[in-house]
Structures are given as C-alpha cells and as structure tokens.
A = this chain, B = another copy of it.
Amino acid sequence: MEQNRKKLYTVGIDIGGTNTVFGIVDEQGHILSHDGIKTKDYPDINVYADTVAGHLRSLIEAAGGIELINGIGVGAPNANYYTGQIEQAPNLPWKGTVPLARMLRERLTLPVTLTNDANAAALGEMTYGVARGMKDFIMITLGTGVGSGIVINGRLVYGHDGFAGELGHVIVRRGGRLCGCGRRGCLETYCSATGIVRTVHEMLSSTDTPSLLRDIPLDKVTSKDIYDAAEQGDKLALEIFRFTGTVLGEAFADFIAFSSPEAIVLFGGLAKAGEYIMAPIREAMDANVMSIYKGKTRLLTSALKDSDAAVLGASALAW
C-alpha cells in the first residue's frame, strides 16, 4: 500500500556563493514552504550538510512526512549530474571535490540529484514554466555570467563528461575581450551583467555622445542604470542595449544551426530590459539565421518569479 501512494512533492535546493535556499514544491510548481541559510557561514562541508538536512527535516515533517517526497534536486555551480559532486567551484567555501549528493542522501534517506544552475533553470521552465511540453529548447541565463541549459529530445544535454552546455563561453569575437575563463571573446564578456558594464565603459570613452550614464561613477554603473537611462530616451543607453542584443542574436543564430530548438528562453536581469534588448536580439537572430530556420525558433522570457526560479528549477530535477 505505502509503496503505491502517490508522491506529492519534491525538495529543491539552490546553492549560491552567498545563500543556500530550499523549499518543498508540488507538481504545479507551488512552493509549499521554504527556508535558507548563509552558505558562507559553513566552511566545513559536514556541518553545512548537517544544517541543511536539519532544516529540511522540519520542512518535510510539516509537509506531511518523508513518504510524500519524491526526491531532492540540487542546483549548484560546477555541479556534475553524473557524479553527484560539486567540482572546484571557485565561489563556494569548499575546496576540491564535494560529494554532496551522497552526503545529503545519507542524512535524509531520499534520492538526491545534482546539476548546475543553468541546467536547473532549464528544467524549471520545462516543468513549470514557458517551456512546458517542449522537447527541444535552449535556456540562456543572463546574470553575473552567461549560463545555458540545452534540452534535446526532452532531455538535458550533459555530454560525455557532464559538462556540456557552456554557451556563455562560445567565442563571439575572436581575440575580443578577456574572459574570466582565461580566453578571449566569450559571449559572457559582452552579455553578462559585468559584460554590459564593460560596454558602457567602452562607449563612454570612445564617443562623446551626451548621456545620463556620464553622471554615474564608472565603477558604480549597473544594468539597472542603463535601463533607467534608456527609459528616459538616453541615446547611448539604447545603443548599449542594441549592441548587446546584436551580439546575443548573432550567437543564437549559430546555436539554432546546432540543435534547431523550438524556443530560446531567456532568464535573468538583462531579460527584464524588455524590448530594449529583445528587439535587437530578434533582429540579429533573423538577419543571421539560415533561411531554413527563419521564423521558426521562438524567443521567450522566463515565466518564473526570480525569487522562486532557482528552488523550482532544482526541485524539477527530482520528479
């Protein structure tokens, strides 16, 4: 009897450099309850795992007990789906390789699956968001970096080693801007939150177009400032969005030649700039895509609330 009872919930855990957030999620993507801790407060991975497990036990008990939980999904930087490990994550407090799936499984006696943040975001959209029912789409996360999760034939693409889908590190300008990865001209150096600020610096110094952005100290400019300036008709701000969107749209045209997705779904701060960024992306995609693909791939923005997306994405792993 017990074994056949339908599981109603999954647990989603999102691990970031600053915070770890987790929640209990139902099949419709409603977050029943959630909680969090400061990742940085736990330099010892065993204490960290104990603490997360302790908090989760309370949430699971309140939700009706472990019998109702299908499993645990974890989204984390540098997480490897195949091994269940976090491997050399520069922004997390633990060095080397951390077998987190095993550690949580031992503490909570539930199946645990790990993947990186962008893959979790793709699963979240496929399970609860705008990609529901899609078998072929690409998720692009525009944040501090540019991440991607690629879905083909209804499954996430992990590649032979678990590290597929680093589209933020496709070279879009050979010999271009130096990237944190050590190479030059990566998509991320133009289209991440820091990439667009580099564009502000370049445009402010290479033109004398008057701009509201000139009134902000250079090291203080954010994507939000560029958006606010664009809202007031600031020419340079509009030009910055146009350049950034064009670089993205050109890259998307090449991604389409690879997997011919039904949609490309955007998530993150830059995606919220609306038509300022979407219009140039769409135009560059159309202008650069092969004719057999023209007008076929939809450009969408995530339907999930920012505050919920990470936990939802992680929880989607566990269905």
| Contacts from A to B (Cβ < 8 Å) | 134-136, 150, 152-153, 155, 157-167, 169-171, 174, 181-183, 250, 253-255, 257-262, 288, 290-293, 296
State the oligomeric state as a number of copies.
Answer: 2
Interface residues of A, dominant DSSP? loop
Task: Give A182 Cβ to nearest chain B Cβ, in Å.
Answer: 7
- Beyond A152-B152, A290-B183, whether A170 also contacts B260 by CB under 8 A is no
Q: How far is the CA of A262 from the CA of B134 in the complex (A)?
A: 26
- Beyond A181-B290, A292-B163, whether A259 also contacts B157 by CB under 8 A is yes
What chain B residues lie within 8 Å of A293 (beta carbons)? 161, 163
What chain B residues lie within 8 Å of A257 (beta carbons)? 165-167, 169-170
Determine the residue in chain B with the shortest Cβ distance to A296: B161
Inter-chain contact B171/A254, CB cutoff 8 Å: yes
Q: How far is the CA of A159 from the CA of B261 in the complex (A)?
A: 6
Inter-chain contact A255/B258, CB cutoff 8 Å: yes
Inter-chain contact A150/B253, CB cutoff 8 Å: no
Inter-chain contact B160/A135, CB cutoff 8 Å: yes
Q: How far is the CA of A144 from the CA of B152 in the complex (A)?
A: 29
Q: Could you give 28 example pairs across A and B, Cβ below 8 Å? A: A134-B160, A150-B258, A152-B153, A152-B159, A153-B153, A153-B157, A157-B259, A158-B260, A159-B260, A159-B261, A161-B260, A161-B293, A161-B296, A164-B259, A164-B260, A165-B257, A165-B260, A169-B290, A170-B257, A171-B254, A171-B288, A181-B290, A181-B291, A183-B288, A183-B290, A254-B254, A255-B258, A258-B258
